[in-house]
Amino acid sequence: MQYRTFGKDKRKVSILGFGCMRLPTDNGTITGVVDEKEAERVVRYGIDNGINYVDTAKVYHNGQCEAILGRILQNGYREKVSIATKLPTWEIESVKDANRIFDEQRRDLKTDKIDAYLIHNIQRPFWNNYLKSKLADWAWKKKEKGEVDYVGFSYHDDFPFFKEVVESFDRWDFCQLQYNYICEEVQAGTAGLEFATQKGLSMVVMEPLFGGALAKPSGKMGQLFDSAGQKFNPVDLALRWLWNRPDVAVVLSGMSSFDQVKQNIEIAEKGIAGNLTTEELEFIGTLKGAYDESQPIKCTKCYYCKKDCPAGVDIPYNFECYNNFVASQTLDDGSSKDTSLFKYLYAGIKPKQRADSCTDCGNCETVCPQKLPIRELLAKTHKTLG
């Protein structure tokens, strides 16, 4: 395992962090019931093999993730890691709410101190909550009391607003951004990463595989990998592209199986700044163009939209069906491919979860980190696949 420095005290953290948003579940999705025995096996294996940064949040796995992680980290594992968790900005009406949630989190995580504490999912819709309760100042007081080591925020909005957030508080220790080789100009992107680094913030990256799209590339991206034979590995390229940058301290990976943990740890051994070859960088550049063509809906499957949908539409799965349909329409030689499978899969979605059950309320668009025009895209999905 490679390690980099974090925070002003230069704590050594593993370049691979364990993201607990996608622990093993009974149905293989983040909305399923966590298989706690298997989750313990994979998390502890990761820690035993060098991972010392674990990331969770109040809302992950239907609100159960922190308590599950707290149990996993018993028997000496708590002392081996830095725990990062987050304050749900959208649930805060006053400092009283923040104190209550913070105490609940420490209870569930079975710890007196949270190493890295983030204001969760800062976006414009939640900005007034943040300002009204002065949440960064509140978190800093927790640091002064020794209840938190580092104060930071996770972010899902554009670069201009990102600058405002960074400059709103001059004592941020770190921030967490969505970042990968196809998202350099999405949300805060490369500009945000570089701006925060200049301001002295340590950088934590989430969604390095963009919701799995970069781990199992389809369409033209998949064809490029197939043409290259065994020369390139999709996960290896995506992770090392991030570690190629010296300004990235930790890359969070939501690992839901033992094989994923083992593979990522092996890749992390090579995670040294400047490690990519010219050939690899050129290949990644080709992949970027192919992705833009084959994946028209840039959904990361975070499921915030589904959680806030009163009609119960499974928005990410609908979009997955649409993306797979588009990606599979033509082959490299321009010939058509049988796409009936994707229409069949769409027809098999439960009626209440299908795109045409959208009531046009707009709740989903308020919470979408990618700022997708979800209602418009759902209508397009149904028109295409229905």
Tens digit of each residue's pLDDT (9 = 90 or more) over 255-304: 989 999 999 999 999 999 999 999 999 999 999 888 777 778 888 777 78
- pLDDT, position 111: 97
**Of the ranges 37-51, 53-67, 122-136, 160-174, which one carries the lowest mean pLDDT score?**
122-136
Structure tokens at 349: 């979605």
Q: Write down the mean pLDDT value for the chain.
A: 89
d(C-alpha 324, C-alpha 342), whole Å: 7
CATH topology of domain 3-292: TIM Barrel (3.20.20)
* Confidence tier at 335 by pLDDT (50, 70, 90): very low
In sequence order, the β-bridge partners of residue 280 are none
CB 149 within 8 A of CB 7: yes
Closest to 274 (Cα-Cα) out of 249, 244, 253, 304: 244
- As annotated, the residues of the chain forming the CATH 3.20.20.100 domain(s) are 3-292
- Mean of pLDDT values over 361-380: 91
* pLDDT higher than 80, residue 252: yes
Structure tokens at 17: 């962090």
How many C-beta atoms lie closer than 10 Å to residue 225's C-beta?
Answer: 19
Q: For residue 297, how many C-alpha atoms fall within 13 Å in the half-sphere facing its CB?
A: 26
3-class secondary-structure state, position 44: helix
**In Å, how far are 203, 301, 318, 320, 384 from 347, measured between CA atoms?**
42, 20, 10, 13, 12
d(C-alpha 233, C-alpha 225), whole Å: 8
- pLDDT, position 338: 53
- Mean of pLDDT values over 166-191: 91
* pLDDT higher than 60, residue 190: yes
- pLDDT, position 340: 65
CB 375 within 8 A of CB 305: no
* pLDDT higher than 50, residue 147: yes
Structure tokens at 119: 């204001």
- pLDDT, position 259: 94
Helix (H) or strand (E) holding 252: strand 250-253
- pLDDT, position 31: 77
* Confidence tier at 342 by pLDDT (50, 70, 90): confident
Sequence-separated (6 or more) residues with CB below 8 Å from residue 24: 34, 35, 38, 39, 42, 256, 257
Which residue in this structure is represented by tokens 């298989």?
35
- pLDDT, position 110: 97
